[in-house]
Structure 1
Amino acid sequence: MKKGTPLRLTIEDLSFPAQGLARCDDRLFQIDGFFPGETVAGSFGGSKKRRARLYRPVLVEARADALKPACEHFGPCGGCISQHLPLATQRSFKHRVVLELLKQADLDLPAEILLYGLSQKYDYRNKMEFNFGNVELDGPLTLGMYQKNHGFNVINTTGCRLVDQDMRRIHNYTIDYFRRLGIPFYRWSSREGVLRHLVIRHAKFGRELMVILVTTTQQPIDLSEWVEGLKKLPLRDKLVSVWHMENDSIANIVQSDRMNLLDGKETITEFIHGLRFEITPQSFFQTNSASAELLYSRVLDKMVDVDLALDLYSGTGTITQLIAKKAKRVIGVELVEEAVQAASASARKNQVGNVKFIAGDVKDIVADFTGKVDLIVVDPPRAGLIKAVDHIRRIAPARIIYVSCNPKTLAIDLAQMTEYTIEQLELIDLFPNTPHVETVVLMSRVKD
C-alpha cells in the first residue's frame, strides 16, 4: 500500500487512552480519538512493524447512539474526544480499556470492578490551562486548546464546555484584550514571543476565582489595564486572585521562574467534605471538585484500624486531612513547598491537629522513614511511583490505597508489589468527555 492511498476504516476495538483500532491488509491502525462502531476516512500514512497510521482521519459514519455535542468546538479541538457519546457509553469504554491494561500486567484482580461517576457532563473543571497561539500561519491570536492532529495549532475555545461561564468570560475578555494590543505569542520553534498560557482556577464550592497569566520576559508588559478589566467582568463568583507568572523555559509547560501577585490574595479557598483548603497557583488539586468528594469518599470507605498513615504526594493536603478523621496520626509528604505551606495553614483552620506535613521528594523522604505504618495512601503524578515503590515495600504497611490517574503506570507499580494482594479496585470518572479516569486500589499485605 502506498502512502497517500485513500482509506475508509471501521473501528473495531479500543486501546488506552482512546485509540481506535482498525485493520486493513493485515495492518493494525491505531487512530486517536475514535471509538468502536465509528467509520473514519483518511489516507495511508505509512506503517512500521505492521502498525499503521491513518493521516488526517475524519468521522464519516457515527455510532447509532451518537449525540449532538454541546460544544461548538468539538471535532477540531483536542480538548474533548467523546462529547458525542452518552456518559454511559463513555464509561463503558473507559472501564474496558483500563481492565485490559491491568489484565495484560498479569495481575490477580477482584471479581467485581465497578466504575462510579456523577451525572454532570459539562462545565465541571475547576482548573484550565489555555494556550496562546494561532490556527494558521500569521493568523490572528488565539487562546485555547491544541487542534486535533495539527501539531501546535491552537483553537480559540471561546465556548469551551469543560469550564463554566465565569471561566469562559475570563478567557474571552483576555483574548480580546491581547488581540487589541498586538502582543505576540511565544513560538516554540523560534523561541521568540511573549504570551504563553492563561491559567484559570475556580473554587466551585468556595465560589472564588484565580487567574494566572504566563508570559516570557522578552518584552516589558504593563498588565494593570488588563487586571482592571478582569475586575469589571460580570462574574457569578468572585475574582479574588490575579497573578503574573514569568516563564522563560524552553519546555511547553506551565512552570514558574518568578511569580508576581497583581491583585487580591495569594490563594483561593475550596471546601471538600466540610473542610477548607487553600489552593495556590501551582499546587495540585483535583480538577473536578464535585467528583473529588466522591473519590475521597471511596478512599475513606477503605480505611480500618489505622494508627499511623502516610499520605504521599499530598498536594494541598486534601486526602491527608480527610483520612485524619479515621486515623490517629497522618503524615503528608509533598514536593511543592508552597503546597505544604497551604496544607499546614488549612489544617490549622480546619482544627485538624493529628496531621503533619513534610516538604521534600517522596522517594527521599520514604527512603529514610522508619517505624511501623498501618496505611500508606499514594496519589502520584502520571509517571507513577517510580523509585518510591521499593521504599514503600520496605516500609511494609499493612495496607496501601493507590489513587492513580494513569492506569499504565499503575499496572507497572502493582506488578512490583508482589507482597500485596489486590482486595478492591474501582474506577472513578472525574473527567467526562475525555479519555481520563481515576483508579482506586486497596491492597493488603500478605501475611508471612
Structure 2
Amino acid sequence: MLTLPLPHCDYFEAGRCRSCALIEVPYVTQLSEKERRCHDLLPQVPVSRWLPSVAGGVADFRNKAKLVVGGASGTVTLGILGRDGEGIDLRECLIQEPGIRDAIPHLAAFLDGTGLAPYDVPARRGELKFVHVTLAPSGELMLRFVVRSEQSLHVLRKALPALLALVPRAVVVSVNLLPEHRAVLEGEREEMLLGSSLDMDLGDVSLHLRPQSFFQTNTAVARALYAQAAEWIAAERPGSIWDLYCGVGGFALHCAAAATATATATAATAAAAAVDSGAGSGASAAAAPRVLGVEISASAVESARRSAADAGITAEFIAADATAFALAADASDVPHTVIVNPPRRGIGPALAAWLEAAPAQRVIYSSCNPESLATDLAAMPSWGVRGARVFDMFPHTTHLEVMVLLERQR
C-alpha cells in the first residue's frame, strides 16, 4: 500500500481545496513523518515497543463526508465554502469511499428539486447548511440534513420518497435544526425521517451508529485499532475492564468479546487435559470479564447496549462524565484495566492524577492528539509503556491516531 501512487486531485492543483494538505507528499514519507513525530513526543517508549504502523490508504478511505451546501437554489454545490463564502463543489473528492462519491450527485439533484436555498453565511440567510453522509461496510447509507428552520424540516419530510428513489441505499435519514448563525456542524434538535441507526459491521462486532454518534472516519483502520486493543486484552485476560469515553462501545465490545473467547478456549483446553489425565469429564464455565463503558452521550450508550445485546456480549454501559465517574468510584470498584479514548484535549490533569493513584494495573490509551497524550503521560510517571502503535486514520493530513499499552511500574 505504501508504494501506491498518490491520487491526482484537480481540486488541490487548482487551489480550490487544501484540506488534504499533504496529498502531493509521497505516502511513505507522510507515514514516516507521523512516526517520527510520535517517537519524538513519546521518548519514554523504547524503539522495540513500537509496532509496525497501520497505513490508512491513499484514496477511497473516508466513510463519512461532512458536506457544506453552497451555490443557489436549484444549483447547489456540495463540498466546502471558499474564503468569500462561495460554494466549492467536491462531489468527485477521491478520499471519500466510492459509495459516498456515487451518492453525492443524487443528493445534489434531490436538494435542487426541493427548491430550498443554501445558507448564505455572509448574508445570514437561506436554509440548507450541511449534508452529512455515512457509509456502512454493507453499502448502506445514513443521511443527515442540517437546516435552519422548521419549514425546511417539513419540506424534506414531504420529499422523503423522492430522496429514497434517488438514493435507495439510504436506510437512516434525519434532519438536524441549527437556526443560529454559529460555526458548528449541528444543532441540538434531531428529527428522524427514516430508521434509527446504521449498522457498522466490523466483523467480530457490529456497532449501531445514530446520526449524532461518533465513529472513526476510516473503517479499515478502525478495525485494526479495535483489533489491537482486543489483542492486548486477550493476552492479559483481565477480570474487569472500564472503557472511559466509550462512545458507541467499540473498544468495550471488541475487548469483551476477545477476553471471553480467550477464557473459553483456556477453559476448554484445561478440561481436555483433565479428561486425558482422568481427573474430570467436562469443561468448566469460562469467566467473562466484567466490562463497563462510560460515555456522556445517552444516545451513544443506548446504541452500545443494543450492539452488546445483538452480539450476546456481557457488558454494561452507563451515561456519565468519564472523569467525574472515575473520581467518584470506590477504590474497591476500580478495574484491572482501564481503556481511555478521549477527545483531542486528552484525559486532562484530573483523570491523569486519578490513574496515577488508582489501583488499576493496565491502561490502554487511544489518542487522536499525540501532544495531549504526551502531556497526560508526563502526569502519570508510575506507568511504563509496554506497547505502542501509530494508526494513520487521516492520510494526507498531519492528524493521526496513536495507541499505547501502559503497565504500572510501581
Report the TM-score when normalising by structure 1: 0.76
**Quick one: which amino acid aligns to residue 142 of structure 1?**
T
1:283-315 deviation line (CA, Å, top 9, x unaligned): 111221222111112112222031111101111
Distance 1:190 1:409, change over 3 A: farther
Question: Is 1:82 matched with 2:22?
Answer: yes
Q: Distance in 2 between matches of 1:225 and 1:219?
A: 11
CA contact (8 A) 2:7 2:58 kept: no
Question: Is 1:316 matched with 2:248?
Answer: yes
Q: Distance in 2 between matches of 1:415 and 1:297?
A: 27
Aligned to 1:156: 89
Question: Is 1:297 matched with 2:227?
Answer: yes
Question: Is 1:142 matched with 2:103?
Answer: no
**Quick one: which amino acid aligns to residue 368 of structure 2?**
C
* Offset at residue 186 of structure 1 (A): 2.9
1:79-158 map, 5 Å: 79-100=19-40, 102=41, 107-112=43-48, 113-118=50-55, 120-133=57-70, 141-147=76-82, 150=83, 153-158=86-91
Of the candidates 337, 354, 373, which is equivalent to residue 335 of structure 2?
Answer: 373
Q: More displaced, 115-124 or 252-261?
A: 115-124
Q: Distance in 1 between matches of 2:45 and 2:247?
A: 29
1:71-107 deviation line (CA, Å, top 9, x unaligned): 332343133122333321221122123333x15xxx4
1:284-433 map, 5 Å: 284-303=214-233, 304-324=236-256, 325-326=258-259, 328-353=289-314, 355-370=315-330, 371=332, 372-386=334-348, 387-433=350-396
CA contact (8 A) 1:71 1:159 kept: no
Q: More displaced, 287-296 or 71-80?
A: 71-80
CA contact (8 A) 2:388 2:404 kept: yes
1:29-108 map, 5 Å: 69-75=7-13, 76-100=16-40, 102=41, 107-108=43-44
* Offset at residue 356 of structure 1 (A): 0.5
* Offset at residue 411 of structure 1 (A): 1.3
Q: Distance in 2 between matches of 1:66 and 1:344?
A: 40
Count of paired positions: 370
Q: Distance in 2 between matches of 1:181 and 1:239?
A: 18
Distance 1:154 1:312, change over 3 A: farther
1:163-212 deviation line (CA, Å, top 9, x unaligned): 123312332223344346553333445543321110011111x3321100
SS of residue matched to 1:269: strand
- RMSD between superposed Cα atoms in Å: 2.7
Question: Is 1:280 matched with 2:210?
Answer: yes
Distance 1:169 1:233, change over 3 A: farther
Distance 1:119 1:332, change over 3 A: closer
More contact order relative to length (CA 8 Å, sep ≥ 6): 2
CA contact (8 A) 1:91 1:115 kept: no
Question: Is 1:192 matched with 2:96?
Answer: no
Higher strand share: 1
SS of residue matched to 2:172: strand
* Offset at residue 330 of structure 1 (A): 0.9
Identity over the aligned pairs, expressed in percent? 28
Higher helix share: 2
Q: Any unmatched runs of 5+ in structure 2?
A: 260-287
